[in-house]
A and B are shown apart, each in its own frame.
Chain A
Amino acid sequence: MRYEFINPFVDTTIRVLDSVLEVDVNRGDMALSDSYDLNGDVSILINLRGDTGGCIVVNMDQRTAINVYNVMAMEDSCAINDFTLDGLMELANMIAGNAISVLNEMGFDMDVMPPIVVTKIQLTPECEGREVFHVPLYTECGELIMNISLETH
């Protein structure tokens, strides 16, 4: 695992959530696992390539996803629909874009594939043989779990 890549992703995600949601984001204890924590209904997938490849999955339950969307959109939606997923996609783009910028500025040659937002039933992430870091993020909208799985070159 390329540990130097982890904190930029976590810090950027916190900064973007803090800016977009205008709420405090508290980072919980990081845990190491050999699988993703995908108990929530909605996931943001960010695939990386370059100096290291891998996948970042931000997982949350349906209520949290709706809360995040409602704060971002200043709306009062009560279900996951195309608009909600479009909003979460915009959030995913902001996290991915800003994180890659930070890594590029640190001197790493990294790029990101277009992020994907999926519901649980569609999700088939690949992490075989990799370590996965779980980083819980606590917000007023609910809990988001960051899963960070990177290849070692």
Chain B
Amino acid sequence: MQPKTVTKRKFRCIVVDDSNFARKRISKAVAAIGGEVIGEAVNGREAIDLFAKVRPEIVLMDITMPEMDGIETLKHILAKDPEAKVIMVSSVGHKEMVWKAMRIGAKHFIGKPFTPTYALEVISSVLEGGEQCATSS
């Protein structure tokens, strides 16, 4: 899928991933497209607390994490805020989990590896209330 040409936009997000490297890489991609990472969490429990505290516009969240995975965390976040905009970011290994996340209420899925341009396209679409969709770059 070829990314469309998009312009940078400001948004506030949190990044949830158990890999320090992945959080750092996603944060760099977010900065490259004009966004601001206002918090990071290493597992679902931290993510739920962080979400309640900082109320981000976007949550970028891994699926496979220790303690509480992305699917369970998604349920908790949506229970607190049904309008929460959660985008799952993961390698595409477990498609059934991706579809499960989408059925529960995730707004989109970004498969790793992804380009900043593609991430911006997806995030812009979600911020604008675009149609729910699961694709990878």
Contact = CB atoms under 8 A, between A and B. Distances in A.
Interface string B93-115: 11100000000000000011101
Given A16-B113, A19-B113, A86-B19, A94 B91 contact: yes
A66 interface: no
Contacts of B20: 83, 86
B91 A97 contact: yes
Contact of A74 (B19, B28, B111, B113): B28
A101 B93 contact: yes
Nearest to A112: B93
Nearest to B112: A94
B25 A73 contact: yes
Interface residues of B, number: 18
Contacts of A19: 113, 115
B93 A98 contact: yes
Interface in A18-64: 19-20
B22 interface: yes
A19 B112 CA distance: 10
Interface string B63-91: 01000000000000000000000000011
Contacts of B21: 72-73, 83, 86-87, 89-90
B106 to A, nearest CB: 17
A99 B96 CA distance: 15
Nearest to A88: B21
A73 B21 CA distance: 8
Interface string A107-132: 00000101000000000000000000
A87 B112 CA distance: 13
A96 B113 contact: no
B50 interface: no
Contacts of A74: 28
Nearest to A110: B93
A136 B92 CA distance: 25
B8 interface: no
Interface of A: 16, 19-20, 72-74, 83, 86-87, 89-90, 93-94, 96-98, 100-101, 104, 112, 114
- A-B pairs, top 4 by smallest CB distance, nearest first, are A97-B91, A97-B93, A101-B92, A86-B21
29 contacts: A16-B113, A19-B113, A19-B115, A20-B113, A73-B21, A73-B24, A73-B25, A83-B20, A83-B21, A86-B21, A87-B21, A89-B21, A90-B22, A90-B112, A93-B19, A93-B93, A93-B112, A94-B112, A94-B113, A96-B91, A97-B90, A97-B92, A97-B93, A97-B111, A98-B93, A100-B93, A101-B93, A101-B95, A114-B64
